[in-house]
Structure 1
C-alpha cells in the first residue's frame, strides 16, 4: 500500500481561509463602549458583543507550526 504525499500548501491555504473573518466586525470604539456597558450589567450590550465574537482565536506562528507538524505526523 503506497501513500502519496499530500499537497500541504493547499491544506494550509484552506486552514487560513477558515481563520479569516467572514464579514465586517465592530469598530474599536464600538467594541470598547459595548464592553464597558456589558461590565456594568447591560445584557443587550453583552448580546451584541457575542454576535460579533470571533469564532476562533487567531493562532500565533508557533501554534501554526505545531499544528502543521501534528498534521505531518498524522499523515505518516
Structure 2
C-alpha cells in the first residue's frame, strides 16, 4: 500500500502540470479592447487573442462540425 502512494502523488502532479495554463488569462476588459483593435485590422491584437484562446476540450464531433459550419457561414 505504501508503494502505491508515491506513484499516485506523482501521477497527480503530472496531471496538474499538464492542465496548467501556460499563458495568463486575459481579463474581460483586455479581451474587449483586443477584439475592438482586431476588428479595426490590428494584426498584433489578433495574435494576442489567438494565443489566449480557450481550448475546447469537451466538444463532441457533432459540436465541432457545427462550429466549423457556423464559421464557414460567417465567411460567406
TM-score range (shorter-chain normalised) is: 0.3 to 0.5
Query: Structure 2-normalised TM-score?
Result: 0.43
Query: Structure 1-normalised TM-score?
Result: 0.43
